[in-house]
Structure 1
């Protein structure tokens, strides 16, 4: 039927994913891609970037600087 429709969904991400990062020599980026195909064969595609923030417990990391 014509109109605006919503198709909510959830997707679990694996534990321990690296955080989103953008640097001079590389990056880590995550995105979700979706495609909706209509009965008449028309396909709508979309892509959405999202941020992953994985906290780091610095107490568990080896010292970076040694005196």
Structure 2
């Protein structure tokens, strides 16, 4: 859950940075563009965010049914 939360928030922040920097934000080699690529990779690593949400939901439901 922490990974999902952190990567979702990081994506929101970098999306805002790209908007603020305009064309410079997507220029190859710029700091914003580099961060955008890195954060995108984090969202895919160990499963896409949507898959993580499904896994969390299943675990939460399983715990609820046991308890």
- TM-score when scaled to structure 2? 0.24
Based on CA coordinates, which of the two structures has the bigger radius of gyration? 1
More strand by share: 1
Of structures 1 and 2, the one scoring higher in RCO (CA 8 A, sep 6+) is 2
